[in-house]
């Protein structure tokens, strides 16, 4: 068993070296495909993280009618919370609203005005499940319909922008990634086909010396895995380098993450084996 495994590894490594040009083409194809996929994958992960942080601070504000007595505000808050138990509703009194306005704008304004013109309000945090344009609009309509609520405002444009950005990046990533994967499979398949043709005499000799069809197939599959390992390592280096360069250009406090950093390597190995396996199944005659 050990001798057979050593033979498979030795022959696979020798096959990669003997067809170095075609191995190089396959490695570059896999590197390109996995790098493109990795950039889009990690880009989407980081965009989702950034969008989640922004949306986590996104609030709707429901202004209470000025004619509604203050003592009825707690009941109104209960009515709003009853619309959806996931809503986080915080009451802001007229005095608190005036104090915040003075802190942000003109502290002397209320010395000029006799009365506080600002209404009380509810600051409402929407759950993640509702942080998309359609769901948010639906719950805002419900809140607006509650008697005693004058107006509800929220950053609709920002929500649409983030949602649209996610969808576009995902769509382009899938299309570009699919093209890159198909290209890599095609080039790996073609390289394996040429290797099989060039090593036909070697394959026949191995068969005569007692190598089983499974052993011979394993040699070619392992070649695909080796090509994938090299391509995967190069991809990880490229993705990490691009991430580092982008990080240098970002403001402090924004961090790019690379979770599951081993995924490019796994994907590259699977891609290499898959491309070779197709060629072996079609062209290897034993």
pLDDT tens, the chain, 286 aa long = 555 778 788 877 887 887 788 888 888 888 988 998 888 888 888 887 877 777 777 889 999 998 899 999 999 999 999 998 889 999 999 888 878 877 776 666 555 556 777 899 999 998 888 888 898 999 999 999 999 999 999 988 888 888 888 788 778 878 888 888 888 888 888 877 887 777 777 777 777 777 788 888 888 889 889 999 999 999 999 999 998 888 888 776 678 888 888 899 999 999 889 888 888 888 777 6
123: three-class secondary structure by DSSP: strand
Task: Specify the pTM.
Answer: 0.69
Length of the chain: 286
Bridging pattern class, strands 59-64 and 121-125: antiparallel
Q: How many CA atoms, within 13 angstroms, populate the side-chain half-sphere of residue 3? A: 1
Beta bridge partners of 64: 149
- Report the distance separating Cα 275 and Cα 93, nearest Å: 66
- State which CATH number among 3.40.50.300, 3.40.50.720, 3.90.1640.10, 3.30.70.3040 fits the domain covering 59-154: 3.30.70.3040
Any idea where the domains of the chain sit in the sequence? 2-53+161-283, 59-154
């Amino acid at each position: 068993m050990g001798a057979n495994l050593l033979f498979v590894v030795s022959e696979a490594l020798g096959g990669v070296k003997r067809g170095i040009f075609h191995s190089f083409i396959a490695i570059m194809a896999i590197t390109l495909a996995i790098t493109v996929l990795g950039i889009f994958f990690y880009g989407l992960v980081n965009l989702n993280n950034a969008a989640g942080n922004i949306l986590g601070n996104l609030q709707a504000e429901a202004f209470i009618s000025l004619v509604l007595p203050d003592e009825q505000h707690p009941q109104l808050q209960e009515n709003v919370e009853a619309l959806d138990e996931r809503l986080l509703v915080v009451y802001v009194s007229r005095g608190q609203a005036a104090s915040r306005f003075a802190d942000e704008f003109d502290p002397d304004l209320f010395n000029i005005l006799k009365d506080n013109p600002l209404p009380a309000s509810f600051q409402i945090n929407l759950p993640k499940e509702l942080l998309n344009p359609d769901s948010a609009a639906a719950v805002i309509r419900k809140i607006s319909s509650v008697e005693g609520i004058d107006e509800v405002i929220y950053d609709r444009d920002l929500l649409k922008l983030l949602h649209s950005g996610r969808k576009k990046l995902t769509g382009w990533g899938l299309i570009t990634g699919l093209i890159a994967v198909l290209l890599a499979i095609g080039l790996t398949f073609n390289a394996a086909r040429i290797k099989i043709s060039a090593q036909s005499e070697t394959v026949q000799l191995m068969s005569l010396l007692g190598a089983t069809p499974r052993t011979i197939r394993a040699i070619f599959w392992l070649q695909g895995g080796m090509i994938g390992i090299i391509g995967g390592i190069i991809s990880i280096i490229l993705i990490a380098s691009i991430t580092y360069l982008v990080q240098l250009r970002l403001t402090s406090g924004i961090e790019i993450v690379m979770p599951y950093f081993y995924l490019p390597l796994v994907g590259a190995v699977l891609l290499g084996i898959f491309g070779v396996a197709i060629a072996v199944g079609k062209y290897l005659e034993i």
